[in-house]
Amino acid sequence: MAGEPVMTLYDYQLAMLHPMNDSVADLTPWSCTNEELQESSLGPIDFVDGFGAVGDVVAFTATDPDTGRQQRYFAHIDWGLLQAVEPAPDWYTDERRTDH
């Protein structure tokens, strides 16, 4: 149809290689790498210290898809791949962030 944007094969391949992680709902297990999460529109992404050898845990603020309110989340990363996303526990506050 005239006036509608056309996705080229290159655009499609690029989208498949670099998924758009614009919401918590997009963050399913193995859907992105740590680097892709860091480059997403979610954020800022903060490293959470104290989890030892269980992989990396990062925190970020995003819109809760159920309530529409901003909420802190933890993303669990292992071997460079996203494993899980969950609401940040009550004990985690911005004062515990490692970038201060």
**Domain span at residue 79?**
29-89
Q: How far apart are CA 38 and CA 35, in angstroms?
A: 5
The answer to the question of residue 16 being in a domain is no
The answer to the question of residue 17 being in a domain is no
By mean pLDDT, which of 5-14, 50-59, 83-92 is the weakest? 5-14
Question: How many Å from the N-terminal Cα to the C-terminal Cα in the chain?
Answer: 52
Predicted pLDDT at 59: 92
The answer to the question of residue 98 being in a domain is no
Mean pLDDT to the nearest integer, 88-100:
66
Domains held by the chain: number: 1
The answer to the question of residue 34 being in a domain is yes
Other beta carbons within 10 Å of 63: 15
Instruction: Write down the pTM of the prediction.
Output: 0.70
Strand partners, 63: 70
Q: How far apart are CA 34 and CA 85, in angstroms?
A: 12
Whether residue 67 is predicted with pLDDT greater than 70 in this model: the reply is yes
Mean pLDDT to the nearest integer, 63-80:
90
pLDDT tens sequence across 30-65: 888 888 888 888 878 888 876 666 678 999 999 888
The answer to the question of residue 59 being in a domain is yes
The answer to the question of residue 78 being in a domain is yes
